[in-house]
Amino acid sequence: MEQTARPKLIDENGRRLDGRGPTDLRPLRIEVSVLEKSDGSAYVELGKTKVFAAVYGPKEAHPKHLSLPDRAILNCRYHMTSFSTDERKTLGMTRREVELSKVIREALESVVFLEEFPRSAIDVFIEVVQADGGTRTAGLTAASLALADAGIPMRELIAAVAVGKVDGRIVLDLSDVEDKYGEADMPVGIAPRSNTIVLLQLNGKMTKDEFRQGLMLAQMGIQKIYQAQCEALRKKYESSMREA
Amino acid sequence: MPIYFSEKEVVLPGQLLSDDSRRAGEGTYVMDGKVYASTVGAATIRDGKVEVITFKGPYRPAAGDMVIGVVSDIKPIGAEVDLGGRITALLKIRNVRELTSLNLKIGDVVYAKVASSGLRGVFLELNDQFKKINEGVLLMMTPTKVPRLIGKRGSMISMLKKVTGCNIMVGTNGLVVVNGPSPAKEFAAISAIRLIEREAHSQGLTDKVLAHVSSLVGGEAKHGADGKA
């Protein structure tokens, strides 16, 4: 049987495969209002991970019996395009995508003022165009921006990033290879203003100390992403104000 | 009482605006006695309240709003009215005869007052302000920019009506009906509305719109003269 050798993920100088240090993010690019037909949209690019998010609504909930009398329902769909991965992903929602849709929805529900729109529905679509690790966190980052762009009232934005354990070191923002061959992967979503954790998953093994260290590192990365989010939103709306 | 923003600054959800919870206005929320922005928008102080004027966003019906809608269904209890594709309201009637006397059909455009909006849905009032709109061009604009189209004490809308000679009905929900003497004048009014929507946050907008409309209406007059010759 063919065996693939496990690649050395961190070299003697402490550099990772793509040349990053353990606490570096991949190059980050964020844009808002990228899709014309949606009420709000955002694009997040983290290295080779590329994600779009679009928000539609609030609109009337269909079917009607699903609507809630006191607040809006939030529908969330995290989906990877079939060409986003190395091996073609079959169409439709896989188990993994259904689960991620749920955790992202729950993270978003904690910041959106759903009670302002009784009996309606807000649709959030997250489409992964290219996947290289950290798609759920990039998706959540994009979705919170798209909601803000749609003018939906919310407590604050959400930024998310993954941390993990690779070759015995705690590193920030895992790539696909590091996720596959590393020891642990922990996606973290935080609402930065109140510093509340809205998403936390852990795959693999970490000691208590490593977990703490990872969480600290994630908070640091999230601050950087949050700055970029704010900058993207301000840039978009300040430019539209200047034009006027 | 400290304020943490400069006038007309672009603020983001979760941004701290003030320490005084009594000053919380539109587009803000209070947590632990502090006022934060809940939407992206321009922060301002109006009547002592801290407000965030949103750039775009959904229409939220409130009692007393005058709205324009399209009849989407006729039911025994009243007519269902579509307020811009997102919300449907119910025009309540006292008896069936009232509904038949209105002679409403699906697709009719109506102008009505919101009686109530809450957990049971949105209801429209059938009072003397209720109107069936029979002619005109129906267009949709961002609901958050409707106050700009109306202007201070209706200054913008009355100017538009005067210069273009069109009758313009504005619904708080963002639907607008323009009805004018000629297509060219209607076009001038629509083009002005689009200009207001695009540049809602600029200063001296009334003058800009006036200049824009005057050039269009003037052009139309010249065009009409050419047509005769």
SS (HEC) of B8-50: CEEECCCCEEECCHHHECCCEEEECCEEEECCCEEEEEECCEE
Instruction: State the total domains in chain A.
Output: 1
A78 exposure class (CB count in 10 Å sphere: 0-12, 13-18, 19+): buried
Instruction: Return mean pLDDT, chain A.
Output: 93
B59 in any annotated domain: no
Determine the Cα–Cα distance for residues A161 and A217; give it in Å rounded to an integer. Answer: 10
For residue A157, give its domain range.
28-237
Would you say residue B30 lies in a domain?
yes
Please tell me the distance in Å from B206's CA to the nearest CA on chain A: 13
Last residue of a domain, one of B78, B107, B133: B133
A chain contacts of residue B90, beta-carbon cutoff 8 Å: none
Mutation for testing the A interface, residue in B12, B83, B87, B198 having most A CBs under 10 Å: B12
- Give a yes or no: residue A65 inside a domain: yes
List pLDDT tens digits, range A83-114.
Answer: 999 999 999 999 999 999 999 999 999 999 99
From residue B215, alpha-carbon distances to A5, B157, B183, B221 in Å are 74, 18, 16, 10
The CATH number that applies at residue B39 is 2.40.50.100
| Average pLDDT rounded to a whole number, residues A3-20 | 85
The tens digit of pLDDT for each residue in A187-223 reads 999 999 999 999 999 999 999 999 999 999 999 999 9
Residues B216 and B159 in one domain: yes
Q: Taking the model in full, what pTM does it have?
A: 0.89
Judge whether B1 lies within some domain: no
At residue B219, the pLDDT reads: 54
- Which chain B residues contact residue A58 at CB under 8 A? 58, 86
Contact list in A for residue B144 (CB cut-off 8 A) is: 151
Ordered per-residue pLDDT tens for chain B, 229 residues = 688 899 889 999 999 999 999 999 999 999 999 999 999 999 999 888 999 988 888 888 889 999 999 999 998 888 999 998 788 899 988 887 778 888 888 999 999 999 988 778 889 988 888 989 999 999 999 888 898 899 888 889 999 999 999 999 999 999 999 998 999 999 999 999 999 988 887 778 888 888 888 888 875 444 433 333 3
In this prediction, residue A1 has a pLDDT band, given cuts at 50, 70 and 90, of: low
Q: CA–CA distance from B122 to each of A72, B57, B86, B95, B118 (Å)?
A: 15, 18, 12, 19, 7
Cα–Cα distance, A154 to A110 (Å, whole number): 9
Does residue B129 share a domain with residue B141? no
- Report the amino acid identity of residue A195: N
Q: What is the pLDDT of residue B68?
A: 95
Whether B60 is covered by a domain: the verdict is no
Q: What is the pLDDT of residue A199?
A: 97
Task: Estimate the crossing angle of helix B205-228 against helix B183-198, to 10 degrees.
Answer: 160
Query: Domain of A175: which CATH number?
Result: 3.30.230.70
Helix axes B155-164, B205-228, angle to 10 degrees: 10
In chain A, which residues touch B (CB < 8 A)? 39, 57-60, 69-70, 111, 113, 116-120, 148-157, 191-194, 230, 233-234, 237-238, 240-241, 243-244
Nearest-CA neighbor of A221 among A184, A187, A244, A194?
A187
Report residue B76 as tokens. Answer: 């025994």
β partners of residue A188: A161, A200
Question: For chain B, how far is it from start to end, CA to CA, in angstroms?
Answer: 69
Q: Which residue of A64, A119, A195 to mutate against B (max B Cβ within 10 Å)? A: A119
CA distance A172 to A164: 7
Boundary-marking domain end, from B133, B162, B188:
B133
Q: Are residues B104 and B146 in the same domain?
A: no
Yes or no: say if B140 and B86 are a contact pair by the CB < 8 Å rule: no
Same domain, B44 and B73: no
Domain membership of residue B74 as a residue range = 66-133
Q: Is residue A154 part of a domain?
A: yes
Do B37 and B50 contact (CB within 8 A), yes or no?
no
The pLDDT tens digits for A125-180 are 999 999 999 999 999 999 999 999 999 999 999 999 999 999 999 999 999 999 99
A21 in any annotated domain: no
**In total, how many domains does chain B have?**
3
Integer Cα distance of A40 and A57 in angstroms: 9
Where is pLDDT greater, at A243 or A28? A28
| Domain-embedded: residue B206 | yes
The complex scores an ipTM of 0.90
Residue B121: its chain A contacts at CB < 8 A? Answer: 119
- In a shared domain, residues B124 and B150: no
Give the CATH number of the domain where residue B100 resides. 2.40.50.140
Domain membership flag for residue B3: no
CB B69 within 8 A of CB B122: no
CA B86/CA A150 separation, integer angstroms: 14
Binned at pLDDT 50, 70 and 90, residue A239 comes out as: confident
